[in-house]
A and B are shown apart, each in its own frame.
Chain A
Amino acid sequence: MRTIFIITCSLLVFVSCKKDYKAPVPDYNNWDAFTAAARLALSSQSRSAMEGVYGLTDGNDIFGDTVAVKWSYVITGTDTLYHLSFFCGKDIAYIICEGKKSNGDILLNGYWRKMNGVETGIVRFSIKAQQGADLIAGNGAITPGSIIISGVFGNGQTVPGTSISFSYGRKLFNNGPFRILAHRSGGRTSDLLPVSENSVEMIRKTSEFGSNGIEIDVRLTSDGIPILYHDNTINLRETQKSGLIGPIENYTFDQISTFIRLVHGEKVPTLRQALDAVVYQTGLSFVWLDTKYIGSLKVVRALQKEYIQKAAVAGRNLTIVIGLPTTDALDDFLALPDYADAPNLCELGLDDVERSKAEFWAPRFTLGTQNELVAQVHAAGKQAFVWTLDVPEFIEQYLRDGHFDGILSNYPSSVAYYYYVQH
Chain B
Amino acid sequence: MPIKLAVLPFLLVVLVIGSSLTAMAQDSLPEAKHAAIIFPYPMYSEKWRSSIGLTLLTTPEDITEAVRVRVPSIDFRVLRRINDHFMAEGRINSQILQNQLAVGIQYVLPLTDRLFLSAGAGVGYWFGFLTVEGFNSKGSGWLTYPNLSVGYRTKSNLLITARAQSSINLYYKAFNGNEELSSGKVFYNGETFTIALEQPFYHHKHLTLAFSAINNYFYWQTWLLFYRVNRKIFYPQITVGFIL
Contact = CB atoms under 8 A, between A and B. Distances in A.
Interface of A: 3, 6-7, 10-11, 14-15, 17-19, 21, 91, 114, 116-118, 188-190, 230-232, 237, 363-370, 390-391, 393-394, 397-398, 401
B226 interface: yes
B102 to A, nearest CB: 22
A390 B154 CA distance: 50
B234 interface: yes
Interface in B144-158: 154, 156, 158
24 contacts: A14-B195, A14-B211, A14-B213, A15-B236, A17-B193, A17-B215, A17-B234, A19-B234, A116-B229, A116-B231, A117-B231, A188-B63, A237-B61, A237-B65, A364-B134, A366-B176, A368-B177, A368-B179, A390-B226, A390-B227, A391-B227, A393-B181, A394-B176, A397-B179
Interface in B206-230: 211, 213, 215, 226-227, 229-230
Interface in B61-80: 61-63, 65-66
Nearest to B60: A190
Interface residues of B, number: 36
Contact of B177 (A6, A18, A370): A370
Given A10-B162, A237-B61, A364-B134, A114 B230 contact: yes
Nearest to A370: B177
Contact of A401 (B61, B154, B179): B179
Interface in B164-189: 175-179, 181, 183
Contacts of B66: 231-232
Given A231-B66, A368-B178, 4 more contacts: A7-B195, A91-B230, A231-B65, A237-B61
A18 B234 CA distance: 6
Contacts of A7: 160, 195, 197
Contacts of B154: 3
A114 B229 CA distance: 11
B166 to A, nearest CB: 15
Contacts of A118: 231
B137 interface: yes
Nearest to A16: B213
A52 B100 CA distance: 46
A118 B232 CA distance: 11
B59 to A, nearest CB: 12
Given A7-B160, A14-B195, A237-B61, A394 B179 contact: yes
Most buried by A among B181, B215, B231, B234: B231
Interface of B: 61-63, 65-66, 130, 134-137, 154, 156, 158, 160, 162, 175-179, 181, 183, 193, 195, 197, 211, 213, 215, 226-227, 229-232, 234, 236
Nearest to A232: B66
A118 B234 CA distance: 16
Contacts of A3: 154, 156, 158, 160
B181 A397 contact: yes
B213 A368 contact: no
**Which of B130, B178, B183 has its CB near the most chain A CB atoms (within 10 A)?**
B178
Contacts of B63: 188, 190
Contacts of A394: 176, 179, 181
A359 B193 CA distance: 52
Contacts of A401: 179
A159 to B, nearest CB: 25
A394 B178 CA distance: 12
A369 B178 CA distance: 7
Nearest to B178: A368
Given A114-B230, A237-B62, A367 B215 contact: no
B177 A367 contact: yes
Listed from nearest, the 3 A-B pairs whose CB atoms lie closest are A368-B177, A117-B230, A18-B234
Contacts of A390: 226-227
A230 B65 contact: yes
A51 to B, nearest CB: 28
Contacts of B231: 21, 116-118
A114 B232 CA distance: 15
A377 to B, nearest CB: 16
A116 B232 CA distance: 11
A375 to B, nearest CB: 15
A94 to B, nearest CB: 14
A11 B211 contact: yes
Given A190-B63, A231-B65, A232-B66, A366 B181 contact: no
Contacts of A230: 65
